[in-house]
């Protein structure tokens, strides 16, 4: 024995699961192909739309991030200035004595 066990049996194909051939079913095949083509077009269009919306959202968030980063820098500058003002105005410990 090769250690693989018993070989698997193939399932019999039922008429419903057999692929339709261009020569076989004629109108049914053409209708199925047409429905499939419409579905494929719709799916691809939806994917393009979602990708475009994602790109727009990314761009919007990048712009928002830049604005917030500028605000952070401005607030850091303001904080530094305020600290310098406090140090300049506050009496030093040597002048208290």
Tens digit of each residue's pLDDT (9 = 90 or more) over 24-80: 568 999 999 999 999 999 999 999 999 999 999 999 999 999 999 999 999 999 999
As for how many domains the chain has, the answer is 1
Question: Per-residue confidence at 2, pLDDT binned at 50, 70, 90?
Answer: low
In a domain, 31, yes or no: yes
Report how far apart, in Å, the C-alpha atoms of 55 and of each of 27, 45, 95 are: 42, 15, 61
* Cα(36)–Cα(97) distance, integer angstroms: 91
Q: What is the pTM of this model?
A: 0.55
In a domain, 34, yes or no: yes
- Average pLDDT for residues 10-36, to the nearest whole number? 73
Domain containing 71: what range? 27-88
In a domain, 72, yes or no: yes
């Amino acid at each position: 024995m090769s250690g693989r066990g018993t070989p698997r049996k193939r399932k019999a194909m039922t008429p419903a699961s057999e692929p339709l051939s261009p020569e076989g079913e004629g109108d049914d095949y053409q209708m199925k192909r047409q429905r499939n083509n419409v579905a494929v077009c719709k799916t691809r269009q939806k994917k393009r739309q979602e990708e475009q919306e994602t790109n727009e959202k990314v761009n919007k968030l990048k712009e928002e991030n830049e604005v917030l980063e500028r605000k952070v820098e401005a607030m850091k500058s303001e904080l530094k200035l305020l600290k310098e003002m406090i140090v300049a105005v506050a009496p030093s410990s040597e002048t208290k004595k």
